[in-house]
Chains A and B, each alone.
Chain A
Amino acid sequence: GAVVSQHPSWVICKSGTSVKIECRSLDFQATTMFWYRQFPKQSLMLMATSNEGSKATYEQGVEKDKFLINHASLTLSTLTVTSAHPEDSSFYICSATEGNIQYFGAGTRLSVL
């Protein structure tokens, strides 16, 4: 299957700082990538759909100015959590679509102190 790389896998930061998470499709081109957030023992929550060369589409309730998404190439999307606060601590997972199948990155565990 297709491979999606996500980096970093774990990040700890101070409150008020920004964190960038990268998602790369390694062996295919992905015009569409997705960003999810998952709290412990809860289901995946779609945050936004990232489209190469255009603005991301955010789900209701997700602050676009806080979660900045850039999809500058067919193999890379980035999510920047700006001015992170402890309530932003979560497991962030990206996925990329090949055909109509979503392949997930390994996830990034963010801890905001």
Chain B
Amino acid sequence: QKEVEQNSGPLSVPEGAIASLNCTYSDRGSQSFFWYRQYSGKSPELIMFIYSNGDKEDGRFTAQLNKASQYVSLLIRDSQPSDSATYLCAATTGGFKTIFGAGTRLFVKA
């Protein structure tokens, strides 16, 4: 069973702090990794994707991938209350099927 595991949270951080969200995956054949944000009652929206080991930065967001450890993370710098949402990690193998984690709820306290 191919799985993507996330801590359900909630993760609570103060405004302005760094939020660190983590994810592990079981399928070593996974090649592409994604982070989606889902606000309550809304559908997921893509934040970032990463294919190669290392870091990828986009504004306040940094995705980190370590294929040897089968580990993906998302860092959110200068967290804002508007970042409060559920963050979904996803992994895709060579085909089109993407496996989603159950999500981590993040609360950013003003």
Using a CB–CB cutoff of 8 Å, the interface residues on chain A facing chain B are: 1, 6, 32, 43-44, 46, 49, 91, 93, 97, 100-107
- Interface bits B27-41 vs A (CB < 8 Å: 1, else 0): 000001010100001
Establish whether residues B97 and A44, one from each chain, have CB atoms under 8 Å apart when the complex forms: no
B59 CB to closest chain A CB (Å) equals 15
Known: A43-B102, A44-B88, A101-B34. Is A106-B96 also a contact (CB below 8 A)?
A: no
Q: Given B32, B46, B96, which contacts A103 in the complex, CB threshold below 8 Å?
A: B46
Q: How many residues of B contact A (CB 8 A)?
A: 20
For the complex, give the distance between the alpha carbons of A103 and B45 in Å.
7
Known: A44-B88, A44-B100, A100-B92. Is A93-B43 also a contact (CB below 8 A)?
A: yes
A77 CB to closest chain B CB (Å) equals 14
Establish whether residues B98 and A104, one from each chain, have CB atoms under 8 Å apart when the complex forms: no
Establish whether residues A97 and B96, one from each chain, have CB atoms under 8 Å apart when the complex forms: yes
Establish whether residues A100 and B44, one from each chain, have CB atoms under 8 Å apart when the complex forms: no
For the complex, give the distance between the alpha carbons of A93 and B45 in Å.
12
17 A-B pairs with C-beta separation under 8 A: A1-B46, A6-B43, A43-B88, A43-B100, A43-B102, A44-B44, A44-B100, A46-B100, A91-B41, A93-B44, A100-B32, A102-B34, A102-B90, A103-B46, A106-B42, A106-B43, A107-B43
